[in-house]
């Protein structure tokens, strides 16, 4: 083999080696590109549901009658379950709180009440009554009207006696018979209205009277 042929074989060998090296480099470049593509795929956010679940809300209804106000304002408010809710009762001048009921049950008269750890609906009601010692002394003051509340038989009218009420205000009366007795009749301003359990004077504009009659229930064991 002459020198010319040897040189040709050398050139071919160099060419094959270069081709092999280029192929390996190109594969490596593709591999790198593939790796880069994988690394840019967005990760998935893990969504977790808390043990407490959705928040539950309960309704507290606050009402009042007579001269005064409830704070927060009277009406329905929503309270998140497990939270506390406080109510304050503020009488108008010459008024006082004479009755409070929570969920229909009479409770001690205070100027505030807190529902703790609320888990159900509630109702709260306050009664403001005009103090007997308060009377209108000047024309600039609103007129006071007297409501005379009386009863006959074994039972009570709440409130009872002479109740003074400012013009335009309201006053509720409740009739509570003694054991083995029932409300037989209620007479308002001389007119019989039947055996009702309570009555409210709305927007009072004149002196009024209310009278409840209680009678025994036959075949009732009083023991």
Give the side-chain half-sphere CA count within 13 A for 117. Answer: 0
As a whole-number percent, the residues of the chain with pLDDT over 90 amount to: 26
How do residues 4-34 score in pLDDT, each as one tens digit?
444 444 444 545 444 444 444 444 444 333 3
Last residue of a domain, one of 71, 105, 130: 130
> Do 152 and 118 share a structural domain?
no
DSSP 3-state of 164:
strand
Whole-angstrom distance, CA of residue 202 vs CA of residue 195: 20
Query: Model confidence at 137, in pLDDT bands (50, 70, 90)?
Result: very low
Residue 214 confidence (pLDDT) above 90: yes
Mean pLDDT of the chain: 75
**Last residue in a domain, options 130, 156, 172:** 130
Question: How far is residue 134's CA from residue 142's CA, in Å, rounded to a whole number?
Answer: 12
| 63, part of any domain | yes
Residue 173 lies in a domain: yes
Count of domains for the chain: 2
- Residues 86-113 have pLDDT tens digits of 998 888 877 889 999 999 888 998 889 9
Nearest CA to 72 out of 118, 130, 114, 129 is that of 114
Q: Report CA 160 to chain centroid distance, whole Å.
A: 33
Range of the domain at 108: 57-130
Residue 88 lies in a domain: yes
Phi and psi torsions of 198, nearest 5°: -160, 165
Residue 118 structure tokens: 């609320």
Question: Structure pTM?
Answer: 0.42
Tell me the residue length of the chain: 223
State mean pLDDT over 131-152. 69
């Amino acid at each position: 083999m002459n020198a010319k042929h040897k040189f040709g074989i050398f050139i071919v060998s160099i060419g094959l080696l270069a081709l092999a090296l280029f192929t390996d480099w190109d594969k490596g470049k593709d591999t790198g590109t593939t790796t880069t593509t994988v690394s840019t795929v967005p990760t998935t956010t893990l969504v977790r549901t808390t043990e407490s679940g959705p928040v539950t809300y309960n309704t507290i209804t606050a009402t009042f009658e007579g001269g005064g106000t409830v704070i927060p304002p009277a009406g329905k408010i929503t309270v998140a379950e497990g939270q506390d809710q406080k109510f304050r009762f503020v009488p108008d001048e010459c008024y006082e709180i004479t009755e409070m009921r929570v969920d229909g049950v009479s409770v001690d008269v205070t100027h505030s009440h807190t529902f703790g750890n609320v888990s159900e609906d509630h109702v709260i009601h306050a009664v403001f009554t005009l103090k007997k010692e308060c009377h209108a002394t000047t024309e600039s003051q609103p007129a006071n009207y007297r409501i005379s509340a009386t009863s006959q038989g074994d039972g009570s009218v709440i409130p009872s006696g002479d109740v003074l009420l400012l013009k335009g205000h309201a006053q509720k009366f409740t009739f509570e018979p003694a054991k083995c007795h029932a409300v037989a009749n209620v007479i308002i301003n001389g007119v019989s209205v039947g055996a009702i359990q309570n009555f409210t004077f709305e927007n009072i504009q004149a002196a009024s009277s209310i009278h409840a009659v209680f009678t025994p229930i036959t075949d009732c064991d009083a023991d």
